[in-house]
């Protein structure tokens, strides 16, 4: 077992590419004179694999080892990013969009392969700290990569930026060299949509996994307002440069610190309870922002606190996912992909709902929608699923004991 920070850093390439498509790509496109409505369409297409990419995750559980899939998907993603940025002009926008979409899909599959591999060797008492560092790599990779791209865009060509991103995608896979050797899949390529899917269905309908889906699909811990803070500056009478720094570097730092703290707390606490309670805490922050004076100080403090709590939510989500999958699942990549799709779905519909709150009642309506939906659903889930949450906690303790005994027996042998 490598140190937790090395294991977590293995998802850096995923964070780098997703962060680029969310932040830096719109910046580059608008600088090329492409209308904002077209930029929005391109961004939506390129980001779409984060929602439907789970449909191909069973491939990561069949045929080759997950190490082979990590290097293969990272290489494809790097080549596509480099090629897309070489073609990034209004005249070749369609080709560039197609290549970036393939790159995004490749890194989604890369993330699934790394996560499935990680689930197989990480003991329960380290799942929280690994999850914390995973989110630091994901968020930090996205923030640093986007900042570098936007800073360099006026000095070097898009083609050179693409080549640089490709190099860092490949270098970002190096932490996996320290990983224990993965087991070869028990499923062949011909079994992708037969035996592998049957195994996924069997694992997913277990009581603990069904509880996980209930938690992840609910708005309780969606923390969707983080996607909209950058557009609230005028409502809080905050200068544009302050909004840029707070929602950029400030949020990346706050969320990373929250993820680290939450990850290490998840080694000791009930991850299901922690996931819901941190979501409820974010709802309190949102409601406080709704009713306190809308000025710069309230914006800065509220955004940073909300993002710090979001980091705790992310760490709890990842560690709970690893716990529910366990070390023995032959379809770990697929299961973790389904969990990610569930929580991404909650983020999407809550982002839409928050937008409707703003449309009808302004920024106070947005924050109240976000806060009330999270608080009400979180409290209801704590009450309705209290037995299942205790059961998940007991199962984790039993699992940890078994893993410790197996490790001790292996060392003795």
pLDDT digits (tens, 9 = 90+) for 93-152: 889 999 999 999 999 899 888 888 888 788 878 888 888 888 888 877 777 787 788 778
**In this structure, are residues 246 and 298 in contact, taking their beta carbons and an 8 Å threshold?**
no
Alpha helices in 127-250 (DSSP H): 127-152, 158-171, 195-204, 207-217, 240-245
Contacts of 402 (CB under 8 A, 6+ apart): none
pLDDT in tens, 230-239: 778 888 898 8
What's the pLDDT tens digit per position in 140-196?
Answer: 777 778 778 877 877 888 889 889 999 999 999 999 999 888 776 665 555 556 666
Query: Which parts of the chain have pLDDT scores under 50?
Result: 411
Pick the last residue of a domain from 193, 218, 240. Answer: 193
Kindly state the tokens that stand for 192. Answer: 């992708």
- Residue 387 forms part of a structural domain: yes
Q: Does 187 share its domain with 321?
A: no
- Assess if residue 413 is contained within a domain: no
Residue 198, domain member (yes or no): no
How high is the pLDDT of residue 256?
87
Residue 301 structure tokens: 């403090």
Assigned token pair, 289: 């922002």
Q: Are residues 135 and 211 in the same domain?
A: no
Model pTM?
0.77
- Structural domain count of the chain: 2
According to the model, what pLDDT value does residue 189 have?
55
Domain with 21 in it: 1-193
Distance CA 69, CA 65 (A): 7
* Domain co-membership, 219 together with 122: no
| 236 domain residue, yes or no | yes
Are residues 93 and 42 both part of a single domain?
yes
Is position 163 within any domain? yes
**46: which 2 tokens?**
């390129």
Regarding whether 189 and 252 lie in a shared domain, the answer is no
CATH number at residue 216: 1.20.1250.20
- Which of 173, 193, 213 is the last residue in one of the domains? 193
The pLDDT assigned to 401 comes to 59
**Residue 99 and residue 238 in one domain:** no
Whether residues 63 and 125 fall in one domain: yes
Q: Are residues 259 and 180 in the same domain?
A: no
**What pLDDT sits at residue 300?**
93
Domain shared by 141 and 60, yes or no:
yes
189 and 142 in a single domain? The answer is yes
Domain end marker among 134, 168, 193: 193
Distances (CA, A) of 142 to 113, 119, 153, 190, 266: 19, 23, 16, 36, 24
Residue 72's pLDDT is 92
In a domain, 382, yes or no: yes
Q: What whole-number distance in Å separates Cα of residue 229 and Cα of residue 193?
A: 41
Q: What pLDDT shows up at residue 50?
A: 79
Same domain, 282 and 183: no
**Are 184 and 209 members of one domain?**
no
């Amino acid at each position: 077992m490598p140190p937790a920070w090395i294991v977590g850093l293995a998802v850096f390439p995923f964070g780098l590419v997703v962060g680029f498509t969310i932040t830096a790509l719109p910046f580059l496109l608008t600088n090329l004179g492409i209308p904002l409505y077209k930029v929005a369409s391109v961004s939506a297409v390129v980001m779409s694999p984060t929602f439907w990419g789970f449909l191909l995750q069973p491939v990561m559980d069949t045929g080759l080892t997950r190490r082979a899939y990590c290097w293969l998907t990272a290489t494809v993603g790097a080549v596509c990013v480099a090629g897309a940025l070489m073609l990034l002009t209004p005249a070749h926008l369609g080709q560039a969009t197609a290549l970036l979409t393939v790159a995004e899909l490749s890194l989604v599959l890369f993330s699934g392969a790394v996560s499935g591999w990680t689930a197989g060797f990480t003991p329960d008492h380290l799942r929280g700290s690994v999850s914390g560092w995973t989110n630091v790599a994901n968020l930090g990779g996205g923030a640093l990569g986007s900042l570098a791209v936007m800073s360099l865009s006026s000095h070097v060509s898009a083609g050179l930026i693409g080549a640089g991103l490709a190099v860092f995608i490949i270098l970002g896979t190096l932490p996996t060299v320290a990983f224990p050797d993965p087991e070869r899949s028990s499923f062949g390529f011909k079994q992708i949509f037969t035996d592998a899917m049957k195994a996924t269905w069997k694992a997913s309908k277990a009581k603990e996994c069904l509880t996980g889906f209930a938690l992840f699909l609910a708005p309780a811990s969606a923390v969707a307002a983080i996607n909209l803070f950058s557009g609230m500056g005028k409502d809080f009478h905050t200068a544009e440069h302050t909004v840029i720094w707070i929602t950029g570097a400030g949020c990346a730092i706050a969320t990373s610190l929250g993820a680290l703290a939450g990850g290490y707390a998840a080694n000791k606490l009930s991850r299901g309870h922690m996931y819901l309670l941190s979501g409820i805490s974010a709802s309190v922050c949102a409601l406080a922002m709704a009713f306190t004076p809308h000025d710069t100080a309230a914006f800065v403090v509220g955004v940073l606190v909300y993002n710090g709590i979001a980091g705790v939510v992310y760490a709890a989500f990842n560690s709970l996912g690893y716990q529910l999958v366990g070390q023995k699942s032959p379809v770990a990549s697929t299961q973790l992909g389904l969990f990610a799709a569930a929580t991404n779905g909650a983020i999407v519909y809550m982002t839409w709902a928050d937008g409707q709150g703003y449309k009808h009642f302004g920024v106070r309506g947005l924050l109240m929608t976000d806060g009330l939906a999270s608080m009400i659903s979180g409290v209801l889930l704590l009450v309705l699923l209290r037995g299942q949450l205790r059961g998940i906690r007991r199962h984790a303790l039993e699992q940890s004991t078994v893993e410790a005994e197996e490790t001790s027996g292996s060392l003795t042998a």
